[in-house]
Amino acid sequence: MKGRQIILDHIDGREAAALMVDGQLDDLLIDGDAPRPGTVYRAIADRPVKGQGGMFLRAPGGAAFLRQVKGLAPGQAILVQVTGYAEPGKAIPVTQKLLFKSRFAIVTPEAPGLNISRSIRDEAERDRLLEIAHDAGVEGNMGLILRSVCEGADAGDIAEDIATMLSQAEKVQNNTGDGPETLLDGDGPHVAAWRDWSDPAEVVTTSGSFDSHGVLDALEEARGARVPLGAGATMFVEPTRALVAVDINTGSDTSPAAGFKANMAAARLLPRALRVRGLGGQIVLDLAPMPKKERRAVETALRASFRRDTIDTTLVGWTPLGHYELQRKNARPALKDVLK
């Protein structure tokens, strides 16, 4: 089926949202067992980690870890927000930089200022959005970012979104407790899909729509490691305890250009393969054989692909053995952990 579909359903008792593009699973949000990203805690500083500049915290969801700590003493209460999913056996990653994010607006406590997405370039539209932002009454230590989806959107909808996020931020900051407490739960998959998948799409909410729209079949394929690249080439995406290994093969094609073609195809498809499998952390690519002079083109293709991706990924570079390394945020629970 051509076009975009956002499908909201449940699988194995878990809330889930799937983005289908031209009949292929392009993205997946599914509830995990760990605290959702965006959850805000009042946590208690527990013990510093010497040499790393970090601190373990006591939080309602379990042990949390805060990087780049300055002036924080054990026993002190602090507001933190969950930034991603922890690997098994590790502490929940958190930050002190709170963000209250919705479809149109992001409110940033302790970071005052009004900002509009750079992708909105029409000056008249930027002036309209600035007027809406000023009328919203963002004051004091609160900052505001208007997202790209605001372009052409109804002023009332934008103002309502800003007011909701401001209310959330003020409620959290004005909480006067002193022990570990969950102050705000992160968005579930259905709300996160509405918030972040803002391009025009058909929205399907009927129970059982994962089955009727091919999502279950796509998930079954994603639970395996193999990703077809065309012309007989394949990519295998396999998580290990230490890293995610990506192996690219040309198959039966033994022509001189086969390796380069397979690697270019893998560069285009890798972000989607990682998204739907919920994989992050250290990623190592074992590319198909190709001349060194073609490395730049492959790296350029990788950068273009991940630039369009919504999850923070750092392209680290080539190793002496000719592998390529990436570092990716663990923004989703791993599919292998939530679907047994």
Measured in Å, how far apart are the chain's first and last C-alpha atoms? 28
Indicate whether 322 belongs to any domain.
Answer: yes
Kindly report the CATH number assigned to the domain that includes residue 318.
3.40.630
The domain containing residue 91 runs over which residues?
40-95
Supply the pTM of this predicted model: 0.91
Do both 321 and 264 map to the same domain? yes
pLDDT score of 6 = 97
Q: What angle do CA 61, 31, 336 make, to 5 degrees?
A: 100
pLDDT score of 31 = 94
Distance, CA of 250 to CA of 196 (rounded, Å)? 36
pLDDT score of 306 = 97
Distance, CA of 284 to CA of 244 (rounded, Å)? 6
Do both 276 and 315 map to the same domain? yes
Distance, CA of 77 to CA of 101 (rounded, Å)? 24
Higher pLDDT, 187 or 178: 187
* Spatial CB neighbours of 118, under 8 Å, sequence gap ≥ 6: none
Indicate whether 332 belongs to any domain.
Answer: yes
Do both 227 and 210 map to the same domain? no
Indicate whether 64 belongs to any domain.
Answer: yes
Write down which residue in 60, 78, 95 finishes a domain.
95
Do both 46 and 110 map to the same domain? no
Do both 333 and 260 map to the same domain? yes
Do both 228 and 274 map to the same domain? yes
Indicate whether 217 belongs to any domain.
Answer: yes
The predicted-structure confidence for 290-337, as pLDDT tens digits, reads as follows 999 999 999 999 999 999 998 999 999 999 999 999 999 999 999 988
Do both 216 and 231 map to the same domain? no
Q: What angle do CA 312, 196, 170 make, to 5 degrees?
A: 95
Residue 211: pLDDT over 90: yes
Indicate whether 150 belongs to any domain.
Answer: yes
For 16, the 3-state DSSP assignment is strand
Bridge-partner residues for 66, per DSSP? Answer: 55, 94
Do both 331 and 227 map to the same domain? yes
Q: Which token pair is 137? A: 């009454």
Kindly report the CATH number assigned to the domain that includes residue 154.
3.30.230
pLDDT score of 53 = 79
Indicate whether 192 belongs to any domain.
Answer: no
Task: Provide the pLDDT confidence category of residue 71 given band limits of 50, 70 and 90.
Answer: confident
Do both 113 and 149 map to the same domain? yes
Residue 52: pLDDT over 80: no
Tell me the average pLDDT across 54-68.
Answer: 91
pLDDT score of 86 = 86
Residue 198: pLDDT over 80: yes
Indicate whether 193 belongs to any domain.
Answer: no
Q: At what angle do helices 258-277 and 295-307 cross, to 10 degrees?
A: 20
pLDDT score of 2 = 82
DSSP 87: P
Count: domains in the chain: 4
* % of the chain beyond a pLDDT of 90: 83
- Give burial (CB, 10 Å; 0-12/13-18/19+) of 51: exposed
Tell me the average pLDDT across 103-113.
Answer: 94
Do both 215 and 122 map to the same domain? no
Secondary structure element (H or E) that encloses residue 26, with its range: strand 24-30
Do both 16 and 54 map to the same domain? no
Q: Are strands 54-59 and 62-66 parallel, antiparallel or unpaired?
A: antiparallel
Residue 88: pLDDT over 80: no
Task: Provide the pLDDT confidence category of residue 124 given band limits of 50, 70 and 90.
Answer: very high
Indicate whether 34 belongs to any domain.
Answer: no
The predicted-structure confidence for 226-281, as pLDDT tens digits, reads as follows 999 998 999 999 999 899 999 999 988 888 899 999 999 999 999 999 999 999 99
Do both 6 and 56 map to the same domain? no
Residue 105: pLDDT over 90: yes
Task: Provide the pLDDT confidence category of residue 177 given band limits of 50, 70 and 90.
Answer: confident
Bridge-partner residues for 145, per DSSP? Answer: 106, 115
